[in-house]
Chains A and B, each alone.
Chain A
């Protein structure tokens, strides 16, 4: 086993005091302004290159419906390294930096009043990574630029930092054009458009929607009655199909007894479905035939209005278009431009970290009837994490949290071949290459929507994001962080062959107004 940890550990801010620790009461604590504990790891290398950690207890699904437990699955974790950028997949022990004296990671306590979304009667514990305001060094800003640049800066063919600005200009121009087209169609009277839609919805749609809801609610009971009658009848036909030609004496058995009852319930069910369809059809007719003074249908106006809200956020008499996609992308353009200017001026970004692991999974192949070995070799290059944080606080004896992870990597490579690929060419041909990988995952927004993690009475875990309601939804929509996933280029095998490229992947602006995840036994 070869374990090496080489680092200089600097602790700034506090000096450890020789004194008894005395708890502060809440009133005093809420006024605390502790500067926190700064953490900087300089010249850091962590390498566990031949140790093996084995995970057991995982099973395959039970193919016999739970009669057996399934087959054992074994996971061997055979490598883990964290080094400086340029380590060549962890083979060259290159010192790396986690934080710096000017931008340390910080563990601190803060009063709730430090955040608008958290009550000022409590204190919270926060761990945050370094923060950079300089656009080129700020991971969120740089990743945004990389997304539109669509290549890894400095690599062949990727030397004009303004490509991202040009792409951004094109997007802003298109969105602005769409906005102007909509405003032009309605003569700029977007508030009137909104009022007209609301009026038509109240008069035409809402009442009919209630009819649809009522009709829909009657289908399930009718279905259940039909299903019960079907069971009682001996299930002699497919559910929903009526009995015909019952017995030697004609159809009498189809109109009496359990079969007759079932046939009646089928008719009842179909009648309910028909009523529902008629109600839906009437609803559709109203969308199509409720016109404004210019002859525009409600469905068209609604689509245009929704597009406008998406582009501009709020609808105002001034048509300021201040809160929608147009404004967001204009803000992005400024960020992207700042990065491009700094790169074009010859500045370069700080080196990140290289992080990697290898796993071996021993799994049972149901089709081959034998165990096989799956390999996964993950190498991340040039990783930066600034802007990440985790806040923890207690409210009503419950642990609440807010979490954000900003993870950018110049490259993420995943190999799956194992020792059978014994040449570099073979390894490359079996490796998945991803460039400009950026994950910004945000969970929770202060006390408006705290992240709660708990365990149910039967031992399963539960994660919940809730709390957005009439009192706070505007604050939530205006201020809660969204999540992003962006991969600039996904490529299999030869990292430069265009034919192997799957291009980019974008999940832009994901945010859960409500989320509840509960585990259960499989």
Chain B
């Protein structure tokens, strides 16, 4: 026993010696004198008064970090509490034919949590099925931050409570993947393509456009058309429900009812595009305009054609609010001041201003891709997901 204990101490001693051989050397005082602190943490405080919501104080801890990662998670589930259909804009679960699904007790089924993402991943693996040549392409994050929001008492600003917390990224670029089961917040994109695709879909086999619309669309075949897409209520194609500022627990995305495609082209035909392409009940002149979020397995945050300096997105965050919180809008878009959030979880992957000040979207869809979905990029070596 003694012998074993003695050996143990010797081993510990030897281990310590081994570890210390990693060549740590003391810095002499005269050299140390030239070092300045590496200020990778800053703390910013701010306040905001909203005429309706009241007074808020914010404290943001900024972390000077460059992060590269390829990470997978089985599931993210945030804000799992009771909501009922319609309350605060809670969207219903609908089937593939956009019919509302009911629970056994007759109530409208809604998702269990504000945000449910299964097989979540950041980053991708190129050549995943050829492990010899598999290449990790990491998701990049610069300057993440953690921010607390406090609601102050109207009568005494010293009395305050935590109203929300958010984790955000100064800049981010890369592939974000997952089965987007339930989303609450902003997932904005732009759908774009030539008018010919709209013509094919609306006037080809099974198309529902009128002959007159088909003639006009055929003339607009070479015109580039685009529209903004948002999270939708799959049953109605609306971006809101019962007047709520945004949907909770949405699982569809598309061109909201009442909006239309635009065109930058000039000329008579192009000018007809907005009139011809008004979205109604998840359709634009017969072209399907609503899609399940789960068919978009991967979203590229930022601009894939640019480097991180020029192609990273700003303003992305995920937050949790105990009550309404007007977070500062850090998208860089001129005139954008606050992102208004309500009780629950909130995922903000919204439009932003790029390094040139131009407005960009985190999600770009081609009219053709929108119908077929976006395949998942591989996020594991040897398999696409589930690692």
Contact = CB atoms under 8 A, between A and B. Distances in A.
B35 interface: yes
Given A502-B322, A519-B65, A397 B22 contact: yes
A285 B75 contact: no
Contacts of A223: 305-306, 310
B80 A34 contact: no
B66 A517 contact: yes
B53 interface: no
A299 interface: yes
B379 to A, nearest CB: 8
Q: Which of A325, A368, A414, A514 has the most CB of B within 10 A?
A: A514
Contacts of B150: 374, 416
A514 B70 contact: yes
Nearest to B138: A514
A326 B80 CA distance: 22
Interface stretch (A128-136, A273-281, A342-350): A273-281
A284 B82 CA distance: 39
Interface in B273-310: 295, 297, 304-307, 310
B127 to A, nearest CB: 9
B223 to A, nearest CB: 13
Contact of A325 (B19, B74, B304): B74
A431 to B, nearest CB: 8
B268 interface: no
B8 A13 contact: yes
A287 B375 contact: yes
A140 B45 CA distance: 38
Q: Which of B43, B57, B63, B74 has the most CB of A within 10 A?
A: B43
Nearest to A419: B158
Contacts of A116: none
A109 B381 contact: no
Contacts of A281: 193, 366, 368-369
A60 B45 contact: yes
**Main secondary structure on chain B at its contact with chain A?**
mixed
B211 interface: no
B74 A509 contact: yes
A385 interface: no
Given A124-B15, A299-B373, A477-B387, A510 B73 contact: yes
B77 A310 contact: no
A518 B66 contact: yes
A470 B19 contact: no
Interface string B200-212: 0000000000000
A518 B65 contact: yes
Given A58-B42, A397-B23, A520-B66, A506 B10 contact: no
A220 B14 contact: no
A394 B372 contact: no
Contacts of B48: 367
A372 B42 CA distance: 16
Interface stretch (B95-103, B129-137, B227-235): B129-137
Interface residues of B, number: 108
A426 interface: yes
Contacts of B371: 288
B376 A70 contact: no
Given A108-B8, A220-B306, A516 B59 contact: no
Contact of B158 (A220, A303, A418, A460): A418
A370 B241 CA distance: 41
B304 A216 contact: yes
A522 B132 contact: no
B44 to A, nearest CB: 5
Given A24-B10, A470-B132, A513-B71, A310 B42 contact: no
B37 interface: yes
A515 B15 contact: no
A368 B48 CA distance: 9
B344 interface: yes
Contact of B46 (A33, A366, A431): A366
A521 B43 contact: no
Contacts of B44: 60-61, 363, 366
A162 B156 CA distance: 46
A473 B65 CA distance: 27
B162 interface: yes
Contacts of B47: 365, 367-368
A431 B345 CA distance: 19
Contact of B15 (A125, A238, A492): A125
Interface stretch (A15-23, A93-101, A185-193): A15-23
Nearest to A492: B322
Contacts of B119: 306, 310
Given A35-B4, A73-B43, A364-B45, A459 B69 contact: no
Contacts of A64: none
Interface string B24-56: 000000000001011111111111100000000
Interface residues of A, number: 120
A239 B355 CA distance: 11
A420 interface: yes
Q: Which of B45, B62, B78, B160 has the most CB of A within 10 A?
A: B45
Contact of A284 (B75, B118, B160, B366): B366
Interface string A95-121: 000000000000111000000000000
Contacts of B366: 277, 280-281, 284
Given A302-B375, A368-B47, A505-B77, A460 B40 contact: yes
A507 B160 contact: no
B190 to A, nearest CB: 12
Contacts of A521: 38-40, 64
A309 B67 contact: no
B9 A367 contact: no
Given A365-B46, A394-B19, A416-B150, A519 B75 contact: no
Given A125-B19, A506-B80, A432 B64 contact: no
A421 interface: yes
Contact of A60 (B43, B67, B297, B306): B43
B39 A426 contact: no
Contact of B79 (A57, A421, A502, A507): A502
A503 B193 CA distance: 42
A458 to B, nearest CB: 8
Nearest 6 A/B pairs, CB to CB: A503-B81, A34-B8, A509-B74, A420-B158, A363-B45, A310-B386
Given A108-B8, A372-B57, A421-B159, 10 more contacts: A16-B9, A285-B372, A299-B373, A363-B44, A416-B148, A430-B160, A459-B35, A469-B131, A516-B67, A522-B41
25 contacts: A15-B5, A22-B10, A35-B8, A61-B42, A198-B129, A216-B304, A281-B366, A302-B375, A310-B118, A361-B43, A365-B57, A366-B45, A392-B19, A397-B23, A416-B162, A432-B162, A469-B131, A473-B381, A482-B74, A492-B163, A513-B71, A516-B68, A520-B40, A521-B39, A521-B64
Interface of A: 13-17, 19, 21-24, 29, 32-37, 57-61, 70, 73, 107-109, 123-125, 198, 201, 216, 219-220, 223, 227, 238-240, 276-277, 280-281, 284-285, 287-288, 299, 302-303, 306, 309-310, 313, 324-325, 328, 361, 363-368, 372, 374, 392, 394, 397-399, 414, 416-418, 420-421, 426, 429-432, 459-461, 468-470, 473-474, 477, 482, 490, 492-493, 498, 500-522
Interface of B: 2, 4-19, 21-23, 35, 37-48, 57, 59, 62-82, 113, 118-119, 123, 129, 131-132, 134, 136, 138, 143, 148, 150, 156, 158-163, 193, 295, 297, 304-307, 310, 320, 322-323, 343-345, 356, 358, 366, 368-369, 371-373, 375-376, 380-387
